[in-house]
């Protein structure tokens, strides 16, 4: 058993500073967050309110007809308990119209489309609200690529992008996020009955320990298996990680000139601080 | 001799040397009000850290007129700062500058610019190859930069040079929040504990704060005396000017009770070092 727990007081303080400064250096005062009713977006919203003040954070709730009713209720629990502005836009009509025209039944395509549709609305609203989009992805899902490319992975900054899911739970408890949200089974809620752990085929407790050993401790695969982790799981997680590398890197640009973005146009992101 | 040193734990604006100059002047004026003899800024305090291609655009020659206002204030207080140096050899360096009595007394080029993992300094900077020290009114000093601090070989030169004060200016990003304090902060202080104890000099560590491209610099600047006592400590994450009073007699007292330096044999060290270089084990 590897203790992945952090000093959550220190971690919170650091992330709050990160949000405060990175929002400013991206020339924004406000932030917008897609609130799903799950733990990740709840944690990011709690942190954002602490960093920017409740009046500067907008929560967007974007339910689809197959989303669990609980998700919407739990999302509203977050916005109401923090006293932030929120808007609820049901995306059923827009999405179903397209699914009908394009004859889409494949649930992966449906899931990706919903994720990108939400991204579209969040970015549109970010313009209306003059706000940066806060990403809510955590390290476990980012590293496994358990995300939709240009969907939930599209954001201005990632406040909890370096926290494993296990650590997000710990931070949520420290932040006093409602128990009801903490105790739910993690789910992308793209179709009924979907759970992260069911889809990935391992529990977050195992996933995070394996990822931690491989990434943070730089243990080779064989060493991790020797520690008693299931060989099939270790191999499938690492395969998942590397097969989704494209989601975490800038797409290759065909290098032709002397100076090319993606290759040797090397300015910092925060250049206009 | 007792005197005060101020630690200017600032958050520089990335790539904006004009605004950072203003910030240097403001913090220096505060340090003067506090009655300090020396004010110390972090590594690359005039430019910020994650410059990448901006490195070349913010580079300054050490004799640039840009430093005039700081030279002027240095008639009232010694100033240590960090900047991107446009070398006369046409190489860009991550350098520190010591200003005093209206003049630049020392320019030191970082000898160990890290280039691994998240660090890519040697992609943009040349590598300094010269340890330097300076005799001031209050003692002999060396100014080293960030990763230099983790090289005991460099600190050993300062020790053999009988330095009284090592100024370690830094841009260290936070890594590790498992413990009570950032893991990297423990690493720095554990290192400083060893150096002050064995080398018997003061360490003045000044780290910046603020975020650049997701890297958060933790601050935690301090003055540690040769007896191991922390004389001043700045908080985490926030800009601040912290002043501490040092007593140079502490160096003498330490070296009476633990007289390591007088046991050293530089010639013997040199001969052994020469045997190592190019030897069977090199």
Of A155, A181, A159, the closest CA to residue A76 belongs to A181
Distance of alpha carbon B202 from alpha carbon B167, whole angstroms: 8
Q: Nearest CA to CA, how far is A266 from chain B (Å)?
A: 5
Is there a contact between B100 and B74 (Cβ–Cβ < 8 Å)?
A: yes
pLDDT at residue number B187:
97
Question: Which of helix, strand or coil describes residue B97?
Answer: strand
- CA A239, CA B184: separation in Å to the nearest integer? 32
| B220 interfacial to chain A (CB closer than 8 Å) | no
When divided into structural domains, chain B yields a total of 1
Chain A residues near residue B54 by CB distance under 8 angstroms: 267-268, 271
Rounded distance, CA A140 to CA A163, Å?
Answer: 7
User: CB of A61 within 8 A of CB of A151?
Assistant: no
Low-confidence ranges of chain A (pLDDT < 50): none
How high is the pLDDT of residue A1? 81
Mean pLDDT of chain B: 97
Q: Is residue B281 assigned to a domain?
A: no
Q: Which residues of A touch B (CB under 8 A)?
A: 5-7, 10-11, 13-14, 17-18, 21-22, 25, 157-158, 265-271, 273
Within a domain: B282 = no
- Chain A residues lying within 8 Å of B174, measured CB to CB: 14
pLDDT of residue A155: 97
Q: Is the dihedral of CA A18, A132, B17, B120 positive or negative?
A: positive
CA distance B132 to B106: 8
Selecting from A5, A17, A266 the residue whose C-beta is nearest the C-beta of B211 gives A17
Nearest to B211 among A11, A21, A271 (CB): A21
Rounded Cα–Cα distance for residues B19 and B169 (Å) = 20
pLDDT of residue B280: 65
Q: In which band, very low, low, confident or very high, does the pLDDT at B117 lie, cut at 50, 70 and 90?
A: very high
* Residue B226 lies in domain: 2-276
Say which CATH topology domain A8-190 has. Rossmann fold (3.40.50)
Instruction: Name the residue in chain A with its Cα closest to that of B178.
Output: A6
Q: Is B15 within 8 Å of A273 when comparing Cβ atoms? A: yes
% residues pLDDT > 70 (chain B): 99
Identify any residues that bridge with B94 across adjacent strands, giving them in sequence order: B84
pLDDT at A273: 63
pTM for the whole thing? Answer: 0.95
User: Given the structure tokens 């040092």, which residue do they identify?
Assistant: B246
Q: Residue A159 to residues A44, A155, A211: CA-CA distances in angstroms?
A: 7, 10, 19
d(CA A11, CA A3): 16
> B7 by DSSP, 3-state: which?
strand
Mean pLDDT of B5-24: 97
Residue whose token pair is 């069977």: B280
How high is the pLDDT of residue A188? 87
Average pLDDT score over residue span B218-239: 97
B133-153 tens-digit pLDDT = 999 999 999 999 999 999 999
**Least confident segment among A190-194, A254-258, B8-12, B43-47:** A190-194
Identify the CATH number of the domain in which residue B140 sits: 3.60.110.10
3-state secondary structure A212-248: HHHHHCCCCHHHHHHCCCCHHHHHHHHHHHHHCHHHH
d(CA B219, CA B209): 5
Q: Could you tell me if B167 and B206 are in contact, meaning their C-beta atoms sit under 8 angstroms apart?
A: yes
Contact between B215 and B11 under an 8 Å Cβ cutoff? The reply is no
Are A18 and B13 inside 8 Å of each other by CB? Answer: no
d(CA B68, CA A242): 53
Q: Is B51 on the interface with A (CB under 8 A)?
A: yes
B8: helix, coil or strand?
strand
- Taking an 8 Å cut-off on Cβ atoms, the answer to whether B54 and A270 are in contact is no
Q: Does B174 touch chain A (CB under 8 A)?
A: yes
What pLDDT band is residue B115 in, cutting at 50, 70 and 90? very high
Closest by Cα among B189, B92, B201 to B143: B201
Give dist(CA B21, CA B7) in Å, integer.
16
Structural tokens at position B145: 């930069």
pLDDT for position A189: 87
pLDDT greater than 80 at residue B202: yes
> Chain A within 8 Å of B14 (Cβ-Cβ)?
yes
- Cα–Cα distances in Å, from B156 out to B96, B148, B166, B229? 19, 11, 11, 21
Domain assignment present for B28: yes
Task: Find the mean pLDDT for residues B33-37.
Answer: 98
pLDDT in tens, B53-71: 999 999 999 999 999 999 9
Q: Which residues of B touch A26 (CB under 8 A)?
A: none
Those residues whose C-beta lies under 8 Å from the C-beta of residue B122, and which sit 6 or more positions away, are B113, B115
Burial of A221 (0-12, 13-18, 19+ CB in 10 A): middle
Predicted complex ipTM exceeds 0.90: yes
CA dihedral B112, B117, B122, B125 (to 10 degrees): -90
10 Å CB burial of residue A108 (0-12, 13-18, 19+) is exposed
Distance CA A185, CA A196 (A): 8
Helical H segments across B58-131, by residue range: 68-73
């Amino acid at each position: 058993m590897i203790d992945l727990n952090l000093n959550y007081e220190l971690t919170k303080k650091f992330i709050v500073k990160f949000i405060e400064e990175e929002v400013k250096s991206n020339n924004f005062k406000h932030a917008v967050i897609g609130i799903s009713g799950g733990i990740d977006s709840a944690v990011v919203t709690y942190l954002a309110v602490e960093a920017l003040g409740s009046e500067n954070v907008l929560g967007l709730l974007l339910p689809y007809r197959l989303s669990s009713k609980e998700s919407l209720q739990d999302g509203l629990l977050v916005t109401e308990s923090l006293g932030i502005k929120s808007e609820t836009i049901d995306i059923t009509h827009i999405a179903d119209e397209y699914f009908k025209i394009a004859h889409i039944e494949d649930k992966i395509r449906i899931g990706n489309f919903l994720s990108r549709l939400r991204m579209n609305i969040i970015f549109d609203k970010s313009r209306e609200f003059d706000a940066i989009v806060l990403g809510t992805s955590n390290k476990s899902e980012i590293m496994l690529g358990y995300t939709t490319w240009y969907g939930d992975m599209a954001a201005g900054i990632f406040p909890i992008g370096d926290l494993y899911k296990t650590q997000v739970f710990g931070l949520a408890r420290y932040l006093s996020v409602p128990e009801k949200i903490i105790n739910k089974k993690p789910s992308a809620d793209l179709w009924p009955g979907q759970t992260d752990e069911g889809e990935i085929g391992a529990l977050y407790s195992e996933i995070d320990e394996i990822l931690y050993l491989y990434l943070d401790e730089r243990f080779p695969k064989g060493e991790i298996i020797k520690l008693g982790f299931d060989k099939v799981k270790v191999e499938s997680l690492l395969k998942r990680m590397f097969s989704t590398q494209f989601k975490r890197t800038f797409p290759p640009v065909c290098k032709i000139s002397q100076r090319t973005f993606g290759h040797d146009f090397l300015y910092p992101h925060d250049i206009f601080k | 001799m007792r005197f005060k040193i101020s630690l200017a734990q600032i958050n520089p604006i990335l790539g904006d040397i004009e605004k950072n100059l203003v910030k240097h002047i403001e913090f220096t004026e505060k340090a003067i009000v506090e009655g300090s003899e020396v004010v110390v800024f972090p590594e690359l305090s005039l430019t910020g850290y994650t410059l990448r291609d901006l490195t070349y655009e913010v580079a300054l020659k050490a004799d640039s007129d840009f430093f005039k206002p700081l030279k002027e204030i240095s008639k009232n207080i010694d100033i240590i700062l960090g900047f991107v140096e446009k070398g006369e050899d046409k190489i860009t360096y991550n350098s520190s500058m010591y200003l005093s009595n209206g003049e630049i007394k020392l320019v030191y080029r970082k000898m160990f610019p890290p280039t691994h993992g998240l660090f890519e300094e040697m992609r943009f900077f040349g590598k300094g190859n010269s340890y330097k020290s300076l005799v001031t009114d209050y003692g002999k000093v060396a100014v080293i930069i960030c990763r230099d601090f983790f090289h005991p070989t460099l600190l050993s030169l300062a020790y053999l040079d009988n330095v009284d004060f090592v100024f370690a200016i830094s841009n260290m990003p936070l890594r590790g929040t498992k413990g009570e304090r950032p893991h990297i902060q423990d690493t720095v202080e554990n290192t400083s504990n060893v150096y002050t104890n064995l080398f018997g000099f003061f360490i003045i560590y000044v780290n910046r704060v603020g975020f650049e491209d997701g890297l958060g610099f933790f601050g935690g600047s301090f003055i540690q005396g040769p007896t191991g006592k922390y004389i001043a400590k700045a908080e985490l994450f926030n800009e601040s000017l912290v002043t501490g009073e040092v007593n140079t007699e502490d160096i003498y007292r330490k070296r009476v009770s633990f007289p390591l330096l007088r046991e050293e044999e530089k010639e013997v060290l040199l001969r052994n070092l020469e045997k190592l270089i190019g030897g069977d084990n090199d």
